[in-house]
Amino acid sequence: MMRAIGHHAPRAIGDEAYVAAFDLPRPEATGHDLLVKVHAVSVNPVDLAQYRRGADAAGPPMVLGYDVAGEVVAVGEAASLFKPGDAIFYAGSPTRPGGNAEYQLVDERLAGPKPATLSFANAATVPLAYLTAYEALGDALDAWDGPAGTLLVAGGSGRVAIAAIQIAKALSPHDVIAAAGDARSQQMVRDAGADAVVSYAGKIADQLKAQGLSRPERILSMLTDATSWPGLVGALAPYGAICAIDRGGSIELAPLVAKGGRLVTEGVFNRGLYRRDMIRQHRALGHIGQLIDDRRLQPPPPDMIWPLDADHLTKAHAAMAKRSGPVRIVLTC
């Protein structure tokens, strides 16, 4: 048996038994699965979104947690990438029980070696944000290829935006412009390595022109809705591409078509969900980990580290729901 923190019916944050501790059977690794002793799990917005789904009252509880660092304790008969004792980190798949538990199963092809220079707690903040940024830039936007140009990261100072700026500066030939809101957010993206900063408050194209900056051939957007869309398309260079990582509201494609532009998307869980080319995520995490160990990427440390129990998980969800900006809360066990 193992201890896990989960829920059946979703409740309002602050309600009694928002989540609870359960004794569940310890899973067994088969096929390409790894059985992982969870050491640290980061709380993310995806946890809040997944929480609302709830679980069948007659079945096991829903266990969340999709940013994990831990140690392999057993491997399935088809596994060959890791062995017991290896330290790994991963985002995994929301179609399976998450990491808010003593043990978790993950397909080895979705995991990477934990960076040697990071603690388990620090490593647990990395996979979701850095994988999303890495796949969006490399796979969706082809940012590693072609001549040098301009990349716009339109995401404020959130986790993925910071990761994307760092990765782009490490791997792409492009100048990186960040679009952020208040002065604090603008300073954070400068600290992350952005070459220039524009504000969401005005027309991005006008600000680029005023600063003598080129229109971006590539835009990575964290907020793609009817409000932000005209500014993004207006700033985009002809025949450029916009990658959306969110599920924003309705947008009008005609202005993008008029520029010969492309709209592409990134979903970090899609490889595991559709079981398509999953090994690419293993390789991406390996590359990200090496860049961290080489000091070319510097993930921000957790804001708070608490023990993994029902009270602290509830508190972490409440903190994430109330605060804006990058709230990095890690729970350890």
Q: What angle do CA 166, 197, 205 make, to 5 degrees?
A: 120
Q: Which is more confidently placed, 320 or 83?
A: 83
Q: What is the pLDDT of residues 39-60, one digit of tens each?
A: 999 999 889 989 998 888 889 9
pLDDT of residue 217: 96
pLDDT of residue 66: 94
pLDDT of residue 54: 85
Instruction: Please provide the average confidence, as pLDDT, over all residues in the chain.
Output: 94
How far apart, in Å, are the Cα atoms of 199 and each of 60, 185, 187, 208, 233? 46, 10, 11, 10, 15
CB atoms within 10 A of CB 290: 15
CB 129 within 8 A of CB 159: yes
Q: CA nearest 48: which of 3, 13, 100?
A: 13
Question: Which residues, including other chains, have CB under 8 Å from residue 320's CB and lie 6 or more apart?
Answer: 43, 44, 45, 47, 48, 327, 329
H helical segments located in the chain:
45-51, 120-123, 127-135, 159-171, 183-192, 204-210, 229-235, 254-258, 270-274, 279-293, 310-322
pLDDT of residue 1: 95
pLDDT of residue 326: 62
Length of the chain: 333
Q: Which is more confidently placed, 325 or 38?
A: 38
* In the predicted structure, residue 69 carries a pLDDT above the cut 60: yes
How far apart, in Å, are the Cα atoms of 162 and each of 153, 216, 243, 245? 9, 18, 16, 14
**What whole-number percentage of the chain has pLDDT above 70?**
99
* In the predicted structure, residue 157 carries a pLDDT above the cut 60: yes
Q: What is the pLDDT of residues 274-299, one digit of tens each?
A: 999 999 999 999 999 999 999 999 99
* In the predicted structure, residue 81 carries a pLDDT above the cut 90: yes
**What gap in Å lies between CA 116 and CA 121, rounded to an integer?**
12
Q: Where is 218: in which H helix or E strand? A: strand 218-221
Q: What is the pLDDT of residues 118-139, one digit of tens each?
A: 999 999 999 999 999 999 999 9
The structural domains of the chain, ordered by start, are 2-125+301-332 (3.90.180.10), 129-265 (3.40.50.720)
**What gap in Å lies between CA 288 and CA 292, rounded to an integer?**
6
Q: What is the pLDDT of residues 221-260, one digit of tens each?
A: 998 988 899 999 999 999 999 999 987 778 999 999 999 9
Q: What is the pLDDT of residues 12-46, one digit of tens each?
A: 988 889 999 999 999 999 999 999 999 999 999 88
